Amino acid sequence: MGRLVAEVVDGMADAEVVQRVGSADALRFDEAVDAVVDVTLPQVSPDVVAAATAAGLPVLVGTSGWSGERIGSLRAGRPEDAPAVLIVPNFSVGAVLAARFAEQAATWFESIEIVEAHHAGKADSPSGTAVATAERIAAARSELGPVSAPHTDQRARGQQVASVPIHSLRLDGVQAKQDVLLGGPGELLTIRHETTSPVAYAAGIRLAIAALPALTGVTVGLEPLLLG
């Protein structure tokens, strides 16, 4: 993702990469830096956000692991005049739309589960996209209650996030794929999104970087930028 972000920025007329920070480098930023893009690891990402905030720099977070609880803690501890943080679980426009569709359908079905698959090298599971989707489903069903998920005490039933079981696959030959399955009497609705190449993330990265200077507070997802 770091290489892809650099390629996208290189293609933008009004942005450039002025510093690259690796895992062995100190979290200090050059004076020429106007904004930070974090595409690290879940255990490292909060430190990057903290360092950017301390330096007075807005930060775009493209790292998984930012659950609703972690985002809530970030919001609770930030002064009103703190620089903006934009957290994007998935830079794909199609993934944003799929999550919106799942949220809209969630009030019509009692049985809902998520199956997500990523390449074998992905460091975390479930994916940030799956967690964000489950949390949105739960929010949409706040007046209806949790989804129907029998036998969750069995290990093979996946990890529950906001009552929604998530099943994670890590396989060679896969880039990124997510199915939200919604079951009702006599029918099954599947909302599927699949990424076949990292180029799918380029438009979202470009949009997020361009929007970051005008943002305030903590923003989650591309949806506010795409759909308002």
Report the pLDDT averaged over residues 140-169. Answer: 97
Domain boundaries, the chain: 1-87+199-227, 93-196
Q: Where are the beta strands (DSSP E) in 57-155?
A: 59-61, 85-87, 111-119
Give pLDDT tens digits for 29-68.
999 999 999 999 889 999 999 999 999 999 999 998 888 8
Q: Of the listed 119, 122, 151, 167, which one is catalytic?
A: 122
**Superfamily of 1-87+199-227 according to CATH:** NAD(P)-binding Rossmann-like Domain (3.40.50.720)
Average pLDDT over residues 150-166: 96
- Tens digits of residue pLDDT in 164-202: 999 999 999 999 999 999 999 999 999 999 999 999 999
Q: Three-state DSSP class for 14?
A: coil
What are phi and psi for residue 61, nearest 5 degrees? -105, 115
Beta-carbon neighbour count of residue 44 at 10 Å? 14
State whether the Cα torsion 61-219-132-92 is positive or negative. Answer: negative
Return the pLDDT at 123.
83
Active site residue 119: no
Tokens of residue 219, six digits: 């923003």
Among 118, 151, 167, 193, the active-site one is 118
pLDDT score of 22 more than 90: no
- Architecture of the CATH domain 93-196: 2-Layer Sandwich (3.30)
Asked if the domains 1-87+199-227 and 93-196 are classified in one and the same CATH topology, the answer is: no
* Integer Cα distance of 157 and 135 in angstroms: 18
Phi, psi dihedrals of residue 157, rounded to the nearest 5° = -85, 5
Catalytic residue check, 193? no
